[in-house]
């Protein structure tokens, strides 16, 4: 069984967000416990597992994602990593449709070598800042929004880019404030920096203190910042230590997430499934 590690939302190795990718045959997935063990062994924020579906259906591949601790409903960077593997190995071309927990997702290879993902736009619901959130995050919220059922995050706007970059959260305390995690964001410091907004994402409830570059979070960041900046096409910088760029295009109830990826490891899983 081939196993690959792909750095997503970057064009340089050892930056962006690494994801494991395993492609199975048409017989389907092994037991959930085995998938979880593989994801725990890789110890990346997500490992993607996919297998081809019979032709003529609504999707071409079944796709699932596991953190080291649990299965998740939606993951952008591991979907980009999977699409990258399918395209670079000539396993698929053009547009690929994935059947996932959150519905049908598509990936389309772009002429410049990037991949565009079509994801559902997160429904944002404003709410009051929960008691203790400011202390857990390490910054006073300007606004707080729930991001809906697929991600279960809190989107927290803070004062400025410097505040986002300087966050040092209490991860144990953050687990009390959302089902998955907290997205902290602010507008870019100024024009000409190559991005429109910044973010950092903290998911200790699913075993990830800080995720390097989170595609699924941008399904919430896109409508949030498009409403404030008055443009549907934006670029977000996730200001983690590894860093990465996500281009977002708001299309009503769908959001396009576009980025590049680089395969950094291609090996063989030696354990029987």
pLDDT greater than 90 at residue 272: no
Cβ atoms < 10 Å from Cβ of 110? 11
Mean pLDDT of all residues in 58-70: 96
Active site residues: 46
SS3 91: coil
* Cα(1)–Cα(272) distance, integer angstroms: 9
From 7, 1, 4, select the one nearest 20 (Cα to Cα).
Answer: 4
- For residue 158, what are the CA distances in angstroms to 104, 178, 184? 33, 17, 7
Q: At 178, is the pLDDT very low, low, confident or very high (cuts 50, 70, 90)? A: confident
* Cα(83)–Cα(85) distance, integer angstroms: 5
Mean pLDDT of all residues in 193-213: 94
Rg (CA), the chain: 18
Check residue 191 and give its pLDDT. 81
Q: Is 255 left (phi over 0), alpha (psi -120 to 50) or beta?
A: beta
């Amino acid at each position: 069984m081939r196993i690959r590690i792909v750095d997503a939302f970057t064009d340089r190795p050892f930056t962006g967000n690494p994801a494991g990718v395993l492609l199975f045959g048409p017989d389907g997935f092994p037991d959930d416990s085995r998938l979880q063990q593989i994801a725990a062994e890789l110890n990346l924020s997500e490992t993607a597992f996919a297998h081809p579906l019979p032709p003529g259906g609504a999707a071409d591949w079944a796709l699932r994602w596991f953190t080291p601790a649990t299965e998740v409903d939606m993951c952008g960077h591991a979907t980009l990593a999977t699409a990258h593997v399918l395209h670079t190995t000539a396993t698929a071309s053009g547009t690929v449709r994935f059947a996932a927990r959150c519905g049908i997702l598509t990936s389309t290879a772009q002429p410049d070598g990037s991949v565009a993902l079509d994801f559902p736009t997160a429904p944002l619901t404003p709410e009051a800042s929960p008691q203790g959130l400011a202390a857990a995050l390490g910054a006073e919220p300007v606004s707080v929004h729930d991001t809906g059922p697929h991600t279960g995050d809190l989107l927290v706007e803070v004062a400025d880019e410097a505040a986002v970059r300087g966050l040092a959260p209490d991860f144990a305390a953050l687990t009390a404030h959302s089902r998955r995690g907290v997205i902290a964001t602010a507008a870019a410091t100024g024009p000409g920096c190559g991005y429109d907004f910044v973010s950092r994402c903290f998911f200790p409830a699913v075993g990830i203190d800080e995720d390097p570059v989170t595609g699924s979070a941008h399904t919430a960041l896109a409508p949030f910042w498009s409403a404030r900046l008055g443009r549907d096409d934006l670029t977000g910088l996730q200001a983690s230590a590894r860093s990465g760029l996500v281009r977002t295009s708001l299309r009503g109830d769908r959001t396009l997430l576009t980025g590049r990826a680089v395969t950094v490891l291609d090996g063989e899983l030696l354990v029987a499934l």
